[in-house]
Each structure stands twice: as C-alpha cells, then as structure tokens.
Amino acid sequence: MGSPGSITPADLPPGARRDFNRALHALHLEAGKPSVREIANARGLSHASVHNAFKNPKVPSHDVMEAIAGYLTLRVKDWGLDASHDDPISKELQRMETLWRWARDEADRGADPGAPQGTPEYTRGLLRGLSPACSLCDKTRELDRLHDIIGLKDPHQKKFPLTALRRRIRHRRLQAANPWLLLRLCRSCRRRHDAGEFTDQELREARLALDKRPGAARHYAAYLDHILLGAERVTDMNIAGSALAIIKADPEMDTFPYVLAHGAIKVDRTNGSLQRGRYPCEDEHPPTS
C-alpha cells in the first residue's frame, strides 16, 4: 500500500458506496497516484485512516474524506476542458461531498440491491406509488421489493468513443436519478426481461403508461415536494420541471403555494421555490399530497 499505484478499490456491490469509492480512486489516479503514507503525512492523518478510506467497504468519516479529497485535488495538474470559468477544484470537492453524503445515507438506511445504483429513496417511492403492481403484467403476487425496479436504456443518450479525456469527464459528472428510466417488474417479468423477451419499445411504452394512470399527478406532487425541500437529491432540475408539467396538466391538482413546519416554510411548486418566514398555517401538509 505504500508505493504509488498499488491501491485497489474496495469490493462493494452496485450503489452509492461503490460510486463514492470509485470516484475517490479516480481522483487518486488523476492526482498522480501518491502513496498512502504521503497523503497521511501531508494531512496529518494516520496511515490506517487513509488506507481504510480507499480499501475498507465502510464509508470514511467526513473529516477523513475532506482531507484526502482536498489533498488530491491540489495535485491534479490538468482539469481538462470541463473546467470552464468556474474553479474546478471547488467543483470537484463539492462533487465528492455529494457522493460521500449519498454513500453515508445508503450505509445508514441499508442498500436496496434491486434498484439501479444510485437510485434515491423517494425516486423508488415515486415509482412504487405509480405502479403498485407490475408495470407490465399488472400482478402483485410476485413483487419483490428488493428486486422489483429495473433501469431502462436512455433513447436520447448518444454514444461517443471513450477517449481518456471523455472517461475523465464522465467520472466527474453526477447522473441524476431519472424516474422516467425506471420500471417496476414482478419476478416473472423480471426473468423475461433478463432473457431479452421484451423490446425497448415495449418497456418505454409501459413506463409512459404509468404517467397516464389516475392519481399519477399526486405522486409526482409529493415527489416534487421532496426535491424542493432537499430530501431528494437530483443534479438535473429538468427532472423537477418534467414532474411539474405532469402536475399542472391535471385539472384536479391544486398548485397554489402551501406552508410546512408550522408556517416556517412556504413551498411554491409552480415556481419551484421555497421561502422561509412566518406564514399562516392551518395544516402541516399540502392538501394534494
């Protein structure tokens, strides 16, 4: 472990913890692969703390993560074309902070091994609300909450040759959990899906049909509330905009501002904003959630 280039990733299943660990290793590679001892000495950490941050499946403490990421970012000589006009070091530290918090949340609540990696709690809840039964056969008997959510191919995603620069940029970008690329299947349909019996078009049509079911806008309203309140972490606000479009298309939905926390927070879904203050409050929850 003391020589450069000898650190190998922790053995982790797909999920937020593995995403964080892989990002830490990618940053270490871009920083020139300094040794564990060099990092520890530079930041006043113990050799074991640095070693465990890279190798141990357990998520490191925030102080250890911050110290290691701070040192590695300073050693990166070329931040590539995505540096733009912003401070690339600050952006990278913020990204590592987000990945670390997701990993910590996953460790605290226990991983969901069935959902695609990085799928947040409320995104899973939205899908299960839209589809209380299997999205393809409409059966509930064979649903398994640990293995009932699958990811769909993104029809708009373009494929480019992964040059070294593109791989480096892709490592730095955080993909949002897109509920329109998820589907809920029973065990029988999951086996058929894994065997390739469903076409991509059939899967996409089944997903689009969920948004047309009665009451879909209510589930999206609750989902959007979690985004606005910061309970659901998304990096692409187009997701919030798409959810809002579904809410506003339902004439029964009330999109007027409402208050939470005994009038301390006013939530405005239409404008996608929060305001803190003292507002009249009759109910802790929005009437449409």
Q: Are 248 and 255 in contact (CB under 8 A)?
A: yes
Of residues 224 and 219, more confidently modeled: 219
Q: Which of 180, 183, 182 has the alpha carbon at shortest distance from 137?
A: 183
Which residue's structure tokens are 């930041």? 43
pLDDT in tens, 130-179: 999 999 998 887 776 656 888 888 776 655 444 444 444 444 333 457 89
Strands (E), 72-201: 149-151, 182-184
- Cβ atoms of residues 45 and 67 within 8 Å: yes
3-state helix, strand, coil in the chain (%, to 5): 45, 5, 45
pTM of the model: 0.52
pLDDT at 191: 83
Quick check: 67 pLDDT over 50?
A: yes
State the pLDDT at residue 288: 42
Average pLDDT, the chain: 76
Owner of token pair 């059966």: 139
d(CA 11, CA 186): 29
Between 286 and 251, whose confidence is greater?
251
User: In which band, very low, low, confident or very high, does the pLDDT at 287 lie, cut at 50, 70 and 90?
Assistant: very low
Characterize the bridge pairing of strands 149-151 and 273-276: unpaired
Predicted confidence (pLDDT) per residue in 12-59, tens digit = 877 788 888 988 998 888 888 888 989 999 989 898 899 999 988 889
- Please give the helix or strand (H or E) that residue 245 lies within, else none: helix 238-248
